Amino acid sequence: SDSTWDAHRSVSDDVGGIYLMASEFERYASRMASCGGLLRFGWSTLKETGETRLRLRSAEFCRVRHCPVCQWRRSLMWQARFYQALPRVVATYPDSRWMFLTLTVRNCDIADLGDTLTAMNAAFQRMKVRKEFRPVHGWIRTTEVTRGNDGSAHPHFHTLMMVPPGMLNGKSYVTHAEWVALWRDVLRVNYDPNVDIRAVKPRRPKNGESLASVTAELVRGAVAETLKYSTKPSDMVADPEWFLELTRQTHK
């Protein structure tokens, strides 16, 4: 909608203004200033309904990693790709269940964010081959970094997993305490990190609905939650120096 576009475009102007403060990022500010400035639309007919509507045909986006407009567009693109594949996935694995797994570490100094993310990614690679994780059929994972009240950085992984039913209540079940111990072990830290694990539970099918269609509807919502911003725009503009250092740490 126009209001959603305008909101993202407005905060992109704010973020571009922050990049103008640092000579090393002036090129990002320049690219962001013209992001989405030229949009070409055309009429398109939906095969399923025959409905004709205006659709975006082409546009010029800046592709700066932390541009709010491009983050939003990227999120929508990955959601669309997943939704396109979802019916085939549900049909191929009709008995599969879905789980949210959020993996965190202690807040770090923003200047240590790059090293912390490197350690977290290495830990996840180690976790993939552990027996607790091996039954997982597949997953999508995103990284989010939020700003702590004290100016620290809080990096964490959001993971949506497709799992066999046994991981919810059968022989492959992993307790919350076991997830914490596993993540601590692969992180190689001396504290218990916060881990959130929960099943994505479908509602009961209504008359005429199949379990597959209800599951697909449920997973679409879960995907939208998982594939969100890597950094909230509000965190970007709240502390310019914090955001500039975030850019340095994530562009190495």
Q: What is the pLDDT of residue 76?
A: 85
DSSP output for 105-147: ---B-GGGHHHHHHHHHHHHHHHHTSTTTTT--EEEEEEEEEE
Task: For 187-201, write each residue's pLDDT tens digit.
Answer: 999 999 999 999 987
- Is pLDDT of 219 > 90? no
Task: For 106-127, write each residue's pLDDT tens digit.
Answer: 999 999 999 999 999 999 999 9
- Is pLDDT of 2 > 70? no
What confidence tier does 207 reach under pLDDT thresholds 50, 70, 90? Answer: confident
> Which tokens in the block code for residue 104?
């965190």
pTM: 0.85
Bridge partners, residue 29, by sequence:
none
On average, the pLDDT of the chain sits at: 87
